[in-house]
Structure 1
């Protein structure tokens, strides 16, 4: 195959919504060697002066901003900066982490196909392709807003899906999400952990993602690789996620192991993903190969992992067209997530779309966005002081903290479970006769536990 076109979306901060399970390392064999599939992108991933100038021209950084930011940040080297509140708004995108969780739903038709599929191995091809598909969106050059405690995000009008996510903890920052249609349910508890390394950032996806396919009731568990954000301050920012992604069928023991190739010099190997679907006896059944920013294909294989005679490589997923020269490198789907057109009737006042800082940034008013962001963060601190003074505990509205604790390589994870109340709420609202609703954009953002809180 020829070299891929140069991609302008060099990511900043991957919002990894998926989780970890306890599968051990699985054996990996390079499918590229069998298929002669190579792609060399002639870029220098380390960046340089020209890249820095281009970033400045695009409005992201000016040289003096880089230098002042570096002076502020260098003292945090080696630290977890997940919940820092001092980051400048100029590096943000007008979207929250809760909305980025919903980006996994863009290619949800792949989960529909997995549910309808009779072949247990092809089912994993579809489901793992769904998990890979979001990486195209995760390479953006901007950081999403950290949600306020109690903040939510709702989505409707996409593939029959009802989606709800909620910020369930502030320290440590944790989110929970639930999506459902006639074919599947999707449940995630997400807790990001980071390590700031100077001009790069390691992102560890401490979380758990489960997908249940309704027809047969099989449960799929997803384990993504860590992510490294390179050239965070100097040079062109770009994301790499070298390592294994494992999706396991907890019902049957089948699994798929996909290996993200690390980016080499001049971009060699960047974007490449390959691996196998294995049966419960860890015998390879189907090989998979492709690029996470373009497409994925599959082909039946023998016990040595080589393509079966008389079979062809078939494409299972292809990235959708994206807007050209979009300011925030948004896909069409990302724009839909920010749109009030995807908002259900009687949108919750805690919804991310209503955040005044996010909305100001979307409209291009960085000064107002920065002021609103500071105001929200101070209100959140005031709520915490009030809660502690009253001896109260924050209780999420749509998710319940369980007694279950999952061990991950980067620490323990407390599991939140969807409590079903949002389904009841939405059914009640949708069945109401109210049609003359106020303008959604006039709703005041309110994730607060205490309605008349004094911020003294």
Structure 2
């Protein structure tokens, strides 16, 4: 493989074979340019779609092993992957899913005490990975210069992201509260590796949340995500690793342990941790599941409960959380049922609960209701969106509409166009110029970061590259 072929979801012969099997006739002649007329709600807030144009295709008609057998131990961002692995979203849109539970940020802004604010921020950090539950498709790799914006007046924020680097692939994002109450920004470099039976995604890069009213900044990184049984059996996902959230004003820290599932799956989806002050004194205990809910309790009550649990003094049937869901999974090849849900410790405080997914989510790539709306084109957007916005990507639009032939052909065309643009820059010895972000240092950690330059929402798109 030469350098020009790296970091693409390239089309293979298997793609063309699969495309013929999976094609869904949507009756549309074009994948791009379709906008949906949606009447506003009575309160003036725009409605958003509740389903995708076409159901998800079947991935059972091709050999995963034929694609992945040469990839063991390698970073998948440097391996050509077939379109059948994808879901109809760009990675930039998946980043935007952090904002599904943005109410937790608004709640943090309203809390008078630093401890209560950290509780909300911790819940927000956990909620950011909740949408990945059962999401076994990979998003499309963004093209260099690709952007995505989302303005949700009903949720009180606006969001912009840009693919700022192709080698390595780096996505930068910036969001602000419409009431000037918060800033949320960062850059992410996802490293993917295939380990024989699983695909591991390690998100590198710093995430920063600033609560402007309180003059506080919090930073953290996301846990590692792993998709199991990619060759044989039912696909399932776990998150594991330690997430440390630092309040740079007070020195408080929240340490969250995303538990690996263990030999029999008893720890699957579990999150446990605590909030400590700058002297490392534990102030608050946190527990739950990133797929369901998060609770917090006083350290004394938590330790007392755990001691009774270890001694076997607890009642044989503890009252589970009413919003919990049955967990599945293990560390081997099958997915046995785990008959546990979150056991609520007396005196606990509910910090967060996951949104219920739409009833047809399984036919829509296991998207949440928030996610379903991310790629919709509404009337008037053709006049306001940047030409680099990934809603205009014909390959993603083709997959969303069920036209896998078109999706494969358009993805191949876009990737070749990007290769040609890179060759032309090499001839001119010109470097790529980002449009909305620039390299710098994180103002709170001092580590390398990509910072928002500003100006996007003034809608001057004259210097945007032609990438589609």
Place the TM-score, normalised by the shorter chain, in its bin.
0.7 to 0.9
Query: Separation in 2 of the partners of 1:270 and 1:303?
Result: 24
Q: Over aligned residue pairs, what C-alpha RMSD do you find?
A: 2.9
The answer as to whether partners of 1:177 and 1:189 remain within 8 angstroms in 2 is yes
The answer as to whether partners of 2:104 and 2:123 remain within 8 angstroms in 1 is yes
2:450 alignment counterpart: 416
> Number of residues paired by the alignment?
369
Structure 1 residues 124-139: aligned runs within 5 Å: 124-139=118-133
The answer as to whether partners of 2:145 and 2:163 remain within 8 angstroms in 1 is yes
Query: Separation in 2 of the partners of 1:418 and 1:253?
Result: 26
CA separation of 1:157 and 1:404: change in aligned 2, threshold 3 A: closer
- Aligned to 1:156, what secondary structure does the other structure show? strand
For normalisation by structure 2, the TM-score amounts to 0.73
Query: Separation in 2 of the partners of 1:281 and 1:407?
Result: 19
Within the candidate set 333, 337, 347, 2:370 is matched to 333
2:356 alignment counterpart: 321
- Tell me how far 1:202 sits from its aligned partner: 2.0
CA separation of 1:343 and 1:277: change in aligned 2, threshold 3 A: farther
- Aligned to 1:198, what secondary structure does the other structure show? coil
The answer as to whether partners of 2:148 and 2:161 remain within 8 angstroms in 1 is yes
- Aligned to 2:366, what secondary structure does the other structure show? coil
CA deviations over 1:20-68 (Å, ceiling 9, x no partner): xxxxxxxxxxxxxxxxxxxxxxxxxxxxxxxxxxxxx9843336x12xx
- Tell me how far 1:141 sits from its aligned partner: 1.5
- Aligned to 2:206, what secondary structure does the other structure show? strand
Query: Separation in 2 of the partners of 1:254 and 1:332?
Result: 34
- Aligned to 1:242, what secondary structure does the other structure show? strand
1:45 alignment counterpart: none
2:231 alignment counterpart: 233
The answer as to whether partners of 2:217 and 2:444 remain within 8 angstroms in 1 is no
The answer as to whether partners of 1:336 and 1:342 remain within 8 angstroms in 2 is no
- Aligned to 1:106, what secondary structure does the other structure show? helix
CA separation of 1:318 and 1:83: change in aligned 2, threshold 3 A: same
- Aligned to 1:144, what secondary structure does the other structure show? strand
- Tell me how far 1:420 sits from its aligned partner: 1.3
- Tell me how far 1:224 sits from its aligned partner: 2.3
- Tell me how far 1:90 sits from its aligned partner: 1.7
The answer as to whether partners of 1:284 and 1:302 remain within 8 angstroms in 2 is no
Query: Separation in 2 of the partners of 1:186 and 1:145?
Result: 23
Within the candidate set 82, 87, 98, 2:92 is matched to 98
CA separation of 1:322 and 1:98: change in aligned 2, threshold 3 A: same
Greater mean alpha carbon deviation, residues 194-203 or residues 127-136: 194-203
- Aligned to 2:435, what secondary structure does the other structure show? coil
- Aligned to 1:350, what secondary structure does the other structure show? coil
Alignment of 1:180 with 2:176, yes or no, is: yes
- Tell me how far 1:332 sits from its aligned partner: 0.4
- Tell me how far 1:266 sits from its aligned partner: 4.7
1:149 alignment counterpart: 144
2:393 alignment counterpart: 355
| Structure 1 gaps, min length 5 | 1-56, 430-445
- Aligned to 2:118, what secondary structure does the other structure show? helix
Query: Separation in 2 of the partners of 1:78 and 1:311?
Result: 45
CA deviations over 1:77-101 (Å, ceiling 9, x no partner): 11111243x3221221110100011
| Structure 2 gaps, min length 5 | 1-54, 306-344
